[in-house]
Amino acid sequence: MSMVDSCPTSPHIHRVFWMPVPDQVPASGEAGDGAGVRAGTRHAFWGRRWDGQEAECKTVCGVVVNLDESSPLDWISMAECGDCRAEILRVRGEVRP
């Protein structure tokens, strides 16, 4: 299985998509008190959108993660990755002091 290479060398560096990425949870901890609420982070990826097929992708901030379908609650409850946001701004030349 190949990994989607998420790098800014594309001519479309202005195209990114965000996806909630749940934290890795041990199998024994899956049935916890927060039924339906998963901890995690919304990461950015270079490109237009997730193809829905490749599971292993590299985030803008350089972390290799497994992508899967997300729920509306994931989008609300997971915080945005500040490192992804900073890297997008750096690559686009929009870094602010």
> Dihedrals φ, ψ of 12, to 5°?
-105, 55
> Residue 44: what pLDDT?
96
- Report which of residues 3 and 16 the model is more confident about: 16
Burial class (CB in 10 A: 0-12, 13-18, 19+), 13: middle
Question: What is the reported pTM?
Answer: 0.72
How confident is the model over 24-80, as pLDDT tens digits? 765 444 444 545 567 899 999 998 888 777 778 899 999 999 888 889 999 999 999
Question: Please, which pLDDT band fits residue 96 given cuts at 50, 70 and 90?
Answer: low
